[in-house]
Chain A
Amino acid sequence: MPEIIVKPSTLRELWVMLPELPAARRYLAGGTDIVTADNAGVEPSRCWVDISALPELGAIKETARALFIGSCVKISKIEASAAVRKWCPALTAAIPHFASPSLRNMATLGGNAANGSPCADGACALIAEGAFIFLALKGSKRRLLLKDFFLGPKKTALKKDEVILGFEIPKRRHAGAYFKLGPRAYFGISKAAVAVTAEISGGVIRRAAVALGSVAPVPLLAVKTGAWLAGRALSPGSAALAAALVKTEVAPITDARSEAGYRREMCGVLLERALNSLT
């Protein structure tokens, strides 16, 4: 456990505070990942910097073109947002599968991304939503496609002391779905998960994105499958063909949670179910 926990009240205060703090420091948002990791002796730090109250990270904002979800907004607050339901159907569908109700009162999307897990339900859904992640380090800000933020298991593009400001989802009316296979119906870490978004008109998919969790070193955007779906009729036939294609794009491993071959098969099954659920 940390020796000190400090809590800046603005980003500006954070940047001023940082040089005075012990070098072994981490950001604390919801705590649901870092407290468990620290208890297990993984990445212990002398100092935690509680960023959960920074106003810059704490709001859901809507502009004409995009929805911005602050990195420290609690998942249960996102769950209750009408704007999120309207503009982020895959994320909306993923939230009931995100941990448990009490953990959703604590956890944040910023933490979900920073943790760098290939099974992060929130990150997987946001990738399918075409989200950008906004990062800040002192005076400089940058924006990445969320799919490019993940570099490997527990590895992200975050630089030392860089803060995740939030996620921007372009406003495009689309359908979306999230299908997850875990050890039980809810509150489990996935063996495989599929997030799909699609702009559909006249029964034809105009644009689609397919993202998968727990079947690659990172939450994976299945680029080929998404591109293949564009221009196809939304039908059981195209869903079956897309399911066959997606199995060639994933790179699952065998671990404590599941077996590689089974995971690959389930990617197809889950994608087919997800596409057939869209209207």
Chain B
Amino acid sequence: MKLFSLACSVNGHKVRREILSARSLLEFIREDLGLKGTKEGCGEGECGACMVLVDGLAVNACLMMAVQLHGRDLVTIEGIKGKAGGLHPLQKTFMAEGAVQCGFCTPGLIIASEALLRRKPKATLEDIKLELTGNLCRCTGYEKIISAVAKARGK
């Protein structure tokens, strides 16, 4: 097994680690960095629980290899904050709307929603539904999630 010297940015901080080529991005985040907010659901790109932002785009960390992060910028749910610190508007609206039940899908949903609102601050309800097709939630029935994202627009 060969070690790879990975240099990247994680939630705004420069990070350098020696890792195995076989490490997935998700293992790197959870096991090497100890950031447990990113979840593993299906491990095959179906559920979106492991979503993170790489160079501002939402990706499934379970399907990316950690070496592919070299030279790039990673934001996990731990890096999602309000402008003045504290909770991000999406985190506030998810709480206010009751969009969280068991909470396992929530980090991935916040990441996917943040990626959408960065790209389309005035996203329509249809845009929101389409953007979240890669995130499964088995508790809420999605209505409250969609309304939470809608209420975070412009905040």
Contact = CB atoms under 8 A, between A and B. Distances in A.
Nearest to A28: B65
B59 interface: yes
B95 interface: no
B58 A3 contact: no
Contacts of A2: 21-22
Interface residues of A, number: 26
A101 B45 contact: no
Interface in B34-61: 43-45, 48, 51, 57-60
A96 interface: yes
B147 interface: no
Nearest to A106: B59
Interface stretch (B10-18, B74-82, B86-94, B130-138): B130-138
Contacts of A102: 45, 48, 51, 57-60, 112, 115, 134
Interface string A1-32: 11111010000000000000000000010011
Contact of A1 (B2, B22, B60, B68): B22
A96 B21 contact: no
Nearest to A50: B68
A102 B2 CA distance: 29
A63 interface: no
A235 interface: no
Interface string A99-114: 1111101100000000
A39 B22 contact: no
B23 to A, nearest CB: 8
A100 B48 contact: yes
Given A52-B68, A186-B130, A35 B24 contact: yes
B139 interface: no
A187 B59 CA distance: 15
B2 A4 contact: yes
Contacts of B51: 102
B105 interface: no
A50 B130 CA distance: 30
A52 B60 CA distance: 17
B125 interface: no
B130 A36 contact: no
A105 B88 CA distance: 24
Contacts of A3: 1-2, 21-22
Interface string B138-151: 00000000000000
B96 interface: no
A238 interface: no
Contacts of B58: 101-102, 105
Contact of B63 (A36, A96, A101): A36
A201 B130 CA distance: 34
B152 interface: no
Nearest to A104: B134
A39 to B, nearest CB: 6
A96 B133 CA distance: 10
Given A32-B60, A35-B64, A103-B45, 19 more contacts: A1-B21, A5-B4, A7-B67, A31-B63, A32-B63, A35-B63, A39-B43, A39-B44, A96-B130, A100-B45, A100-B134, A101-B116, A101-B130, A101-B133, A102-B48, A106-B60, A106-B63, A186-B133, A187-B133
Interface of A: 1-5, 7, 28, 31-32, 35-36, 39, 48, 50, 52, 76, 96, 99-103, 105-106, 186-187
22 contacts: A1-B21, A2-B22, A4-B21, A5-B21, A5-B67, A28-B65, A31-B63, A32-B63, A35-B64, A36-B63, A39-B43, A50-B67, A50-B68, A100-B45, A101-B58, A101-B130, A102-B45, A102-B57, A102-B59, A103-B63, A106-B59, A187-B134
Report, nearest first, the 9 A-B pairs whose CB atoms are least far apart.
A100-B134, A1-B22, A105-B57, A102-B58, A187-B133, A186-B133, A5-B21, A36-B44, A35-B63
Interface of B: 1-2, 4, 21-22, 24, 43-45, 48, 51, 57-60, 62-65, 67-68, 112, 115-116, 130-131, 133-134
